[in-house]
Every structure is written in C-alpha cells, then in structure tokens.
C-alpha cells in the first residue's frame, strides 16, 4: 500500500492545475490577466481581515509583556505641592511660668553640680529662645510646601504572577495558531472564489458559442423559408432560440460581474481584470492516490485550530493554578526616599529621609470570592477540554466529507466529459443533417440545447473537483501550496 504523504502528491498537480493550465483566457481591452498567485499576494496586502488578524498577534505580545511586568520591580515618583491659605502662630504664654520654674531648677542643679552643665546647655539655650519669642514662629509651617518621593517595590514571592506569566505564553501560542488557521481559511476562500470566476468566464464563452449556433440556425431557417423548405413557425422558433441564448448570456455575464465584485473585496484588486483559466487533466487521478485514513492522520497532526484548542486547555489549567495561588502568601520588598522643604514639621534640619521594609500579605477570608473563582476556573477547564474534543470530532467530519466530495466530483467529471463529447457530436451531426435535409427543425433545437447544457455541466463538474481538492487540503490543515 502506498504510504507517501498525500500532500506531496497533490501539490505539483495543484500548481499545474492553477498556475500552468493548458488554456489561457485572453484578456479583453483594458483588462489585465490575474493569476492565482497574484490574487493571493494582493489579499495579503489589502484584505482587512488579514490585517485585523495581525492585530491579534500584537495583543498577544502585549499580554506577555504585561505578565512579565508583574514580576519586575516597580519604581514610582511623586511630587506634592501644598499651599496654606491661612496660618496662625501658636500661643504658648500659659507655659511661661512652667518655663521659669524649670529654669530655676536647672540653674540650681548646675550650681550644685557644675560638671553637669554641658548636659543642660541645649535646654538653657532653648529656654532663652522661648523667652525671646523667636521659637514660637518655628511651629508655624511654611506657606508653600514641596515634597518629592521616590518609591521602589520589588516582588519576591508572587505565585499568582508566575502562573499568569505561564498562561500568557500559552495564550500567545494559541493566538498564533488561530491567526494562522484564519489566514489559511481566507486564502482558501480566495482560491475557491478564483475558481468560481474561472468557471463563470468559461460559461460566458459557452453561452456565446450557444448564441452563435442559435444565430446560425436562425439564418439558415430564414434561407430555407425563402426557398419554401421551412415554415414560418420554424423561423420563429429559431428566433426564440436566439433570444433565449442572449438571455442566458446576459444572466451569466451579470453573475460574473457580481462575482468579480466579491473577489475585489477579498483581494483588493481594482479595475477590470480576467483570471487565468487552468487545466483540469492532472486532477482526475488524484482521488485514489491517498487513503482516507492517511488524510485523517495528517489532519490531526496539522490542523491549526486543533492545536489552538489543545493549547487553550493548558491556558485554562494555568488559570486554575492562578486561582489556587490566592490561598498562598505573597512577599514584597519596598523602599522610599523623600525630599522636602518643611523642616518645621520634621523637627530636624535634614530635608532628605528614607525608609525600607517588607510586606508579607495573605488573604485569610474574602467572603467566598476565591471559592467562586475556583469553581469558575474548573468549569472553564472542563469546557476547554470538551471544546478540544469537539474540534477533533469536527475535523474527522470535515475530512470525511471533503474526501467523499472529491471522489464524487471525480466520477461526476468523467460522466460530464463523456456527455459533453456526445452532445457536441450530436450537435454537429444535427447541423449537417439539417443542411442535407435529413434532420427536422426540432432535432436541431434539441441538439443545440443539449450541447449547451452538457458544456455547462462539464464546467460545473470541473469547478466541483477543484473545490473538493481545496476543501480536502483545508480540512487536513495543509497550507495553500501557491500561497508562499
């Protein structure tokens, strides 16, 4: 049994299918030819969704930086200015008698013990200042006070911040996977829209060919009517065939214009354009090259949304751990330096002061908040696990559906090609028979209608096969091979 990875088998065929087709549409006047590679590149530069997904990465990096910041020292500065509108000098006159008594007592002690005089000199000087009254003004604060404070806080033990940091890195990995998956889906949608444009362009040509055949039949009917070998009813029916063909072409042309408008929105391409028409031959034998089990195995390894879901389970676990840390203490060191001009309130002459210390804090009881947060975190963890399992189940469903669609599309294309070949041969035979007088008018009309319907069915089968291949690649997590 062949075990080579299916993507390696498919990639060259997709490149041939979408880039090196056997038929190339001729661009009309004033229109440029756009390839799938150009459309993809334009999407990357102009699509708003693509740019918006990039902002998710910016937010994820900011979340990591925020988590790191919770573990780093914090330095802050504060400047305070205070203006006092009204000031009063305190009245210490009631303490005058006490001062005299204390002065007499000090003088008596010094006279009896002269060796202690040095110890009482500061007090005696202060008493002299009080007597002069100058010290009373020292108790009045200055009118304008300016103080500058610098504070430093250093986290030493912070379990919550540690698990928050781990969770932020896991979340960033999840965002990376989600963004990559979102971009892959966008590019695959562009590729499928491109294939839709190719199909519509081909349908316009098929409608034009049908219109040409109808006009030829109409002119032939008028000639035969002049020769009295055809009735007026046959001529009217041939004319009706022409108007029907014109109506079909107008409808398809309008559908093509609407599809191009949507394609411009996706890719940012402006102005008139036509897309390159690829070939289909290299796709027909693909469906049996790789088994369904091999595709399923690859999908489980490479689908980015599954990787994101599994990472989000880890994020939920880190969030649960972060709640558990609320039951443990945290330790912080702090330091503070202060400089001011308010020496009267300090009772010293040094304008600079500093302090250091440590804070050990622990939440003893918070009214049941932690318990509620713990229940919520456990529930979110369970929810994340179920979501990951659901994504895995959806992947199996996506791959099985895409693989079945590819097998069916291959069979449908083979039938449509045979039918279109038979219809074209029938149309040619009917025209020749009509010219020889061996075919009726209705037989020619039926042959023309069958040829148009068969060509349309073949184009639809080609589009279905290309879409099925793209859907299978996307469902297996494979990048668009021509998107680099």
Domain definitions of the chain by residue range:
6-72+158-328+366-475, 93-138
Give dist(CA 43, CA 375) in Å, integer. Answer: 44
**3-state SS, one letter per residue, for the chain:** CCCCCHHHHHHHHHHHHHHCCCCCCCCCCCCEEECHHHHHHHHHHHCHHHHHHHHHHHHHHHHHHHHHHCCCCEEEEEEEEEECCCCCCCCCHHHHHHHHHHHHHHHHHHHHCHHHHHHHHHHHHHHHHHHHCHHHHHCCCCCEEEEEEEEEEEEEECHHHHHHHHHHHHHHHHHHHHHHHHHHHHHHHHHHHHHHHHHHHHHHHHHHHHHHHHHHHHHHHHHHHHCCCCCHHHHHHHHHHHHHHHHHHHHHHHHHHHHHHHHHHHHCCCCCEEECCCCCHHHCCCCCCCCHHHHHHHHHHHCHHHHHHHHHHHHHHHHHHHHHHHHCCEEEEEEEEEEECCHHHHCCCCCEEEEEEEEEECCCCCCCHHHHHHHHHHHHHHHHHHHHHHHHHHHHHHHHHHHHHHHHHHHHHHHHHHHHHHHHHHHHHHHHHHHCCCCCHHHHHHHHHHHHHHHHHHHHHHHHHHHHHHHHHHHCCCCCCCCC
Q: Which two tokens stand for residue 390?
A: 């659901």
pLDDT by 10s per residue, the chain, length 484: 334 444 343 443 343 344 334 343 345 555 789 998 899 999 999 999 999 999 999 999 999 999 999 999 999 999 999 888 776 666 656 655 666 677 777 777 777 777 776 776 666 666 555 554 445 555 566 788 899 999 999 999 999 999 999 999 999 999 999 999 999 999 999 999 999 999 999 999 999 999 998 998 899 888 888 888 778 888 899 899 999 999 999 999 999 999 999 999 999 999 999 998 765 555 555 555 678 999 999 999 999 999 999 999 999 999 999 999 999 999 999 999 988 887 766 666 678 889 999 999 999 999 999 999 999 999 999 999 999 999 999 999 999 999 999 999 989 999 999 999 999 999 888 888 877 777 777 888 888 889 999 999 999 999 999 899 999 999 999 888 765 5
- pLDDT given at position 116: 72
- Token pair, residue 273, equals 């354009």
Span 56-84, pLDDT tens digits:
999 999 999 999 999 999 999 999 998 88
Q: Are 185 and 206 in contact (CB under 8 A)?
A: no
Domain 6-72+158-328+366-475, second-level architecture: Up-down Bundle (1.20)
pLDDT on residue 126? 62
pLDDT attached to residue 352: 86
C-alpha torsion sign, points 319, 321, 324, 329: negative
Q: How far apart are CA 191 and CA 213, in angstroms?
A: 33
pLDDT at 437: 72
449's tokens: 């209608």
Distance CA 305, CA 212 (A): 51
Distance, CA of 400 to CA of 293 (rounded, Å): 9
Please report the pLDDT score of residue 461 as a whole number.
Answer: 92
Q: State the chain's mean pLDDT as an integer.
A: 84
């Amino acid at each position: 049994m062949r075990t080579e990875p299916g993507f390696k088998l498919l990639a060259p065929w997709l490149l041939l299918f979408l880039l090196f087709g056997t038929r190339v549409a001729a661009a009309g006047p004033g229109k440029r030819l756009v390839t799938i590679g150009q459309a993809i590149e334009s999407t990357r530069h102009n699509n708003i969704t693509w740019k918006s997904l990039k902002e998710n990465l910016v937010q994820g990096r900011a979340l990591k930086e925020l988590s790191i910041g919770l573990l780093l020292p914090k330095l802050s500065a504060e400047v305070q200015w205070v203006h006092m509108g009204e000031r009063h000098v305190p009245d210490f006159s009631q303490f005058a008698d006490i001062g005299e008594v204390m002065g007499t007592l000090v003088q008596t002690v010094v006279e009896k013990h002269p060796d202690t005089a040095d110890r009482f000199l500061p007090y005696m000087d202060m008493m002299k200042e009080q007597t002069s009254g100058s010290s009373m003004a020292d108790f009045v604060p200055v009118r304008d006070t300016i103080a500058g404070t610098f504070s430093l806080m250093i986290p030493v033990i912070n379990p919550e911040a540690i698990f928050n940091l781990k969770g932020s890195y896991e979340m960033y990995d999840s965002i990376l996977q989600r963004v990559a998956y979102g971009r892959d889906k966008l590019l695959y949608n562009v590729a499928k829209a491109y294939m839709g444009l190719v199909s519509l362009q081909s349908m316009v040509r098929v409608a034009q060919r049908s219109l040409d055949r109808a006009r030829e039949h109409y002119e032939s009917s008028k000639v035969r009517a002049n020769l009295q070998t055809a009735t007026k009813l046959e001529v009217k029916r041939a004319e009706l065939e022409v108007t029907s063909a014109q109506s079909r072409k107008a409808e398809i042309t309008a559908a093509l214009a609407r599809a191009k408008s949507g394609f411009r929105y996706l890719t940012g391409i402006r102005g008139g354009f036509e897309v390159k028409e690829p070939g289909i031959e290299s796709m027909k034998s693909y469906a049996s090259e790789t088994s369904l089990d091999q595709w399923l195995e690859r999908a489980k390894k490479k689908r980015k949304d599954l990787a994101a879901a599994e990472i989000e389970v880890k994020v939920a676990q880190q969030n649960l751990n972060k709640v558990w840390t609320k039951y443990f203490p945290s330790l912080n060191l702090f330091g503070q330096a202060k400089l001011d001009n308010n020496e009267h309130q300090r009772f010293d002459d040094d304008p600079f002061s500093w302090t250091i210390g440590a804070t050990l804090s622990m939440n003893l009881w918070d009214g049941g908040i932690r318990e509620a947060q713990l229940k919520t975190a456990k529930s979110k963890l369970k929810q994340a696990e179920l979501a990951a399992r659901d994504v895995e189940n959806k992947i199996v469903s996506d791959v099985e559906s895409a693989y079945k669609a590819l097998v069916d599309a291959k069979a449908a294309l083979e039938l449509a090609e045979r039918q279109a070949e038979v219809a074209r041969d029938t149309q040619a035979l009917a025209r020749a028979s009509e010219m020889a007088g061996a075919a009726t008018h209705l037989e020619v009309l039926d042959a023309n209608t069958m040829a148009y319907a068969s060509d349309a069915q073949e184009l639809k089968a080609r589009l279905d096969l290309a879409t099925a291949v793209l859907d299978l690649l996307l469902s297996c997590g494979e990048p668009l091979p021509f998107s680099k």
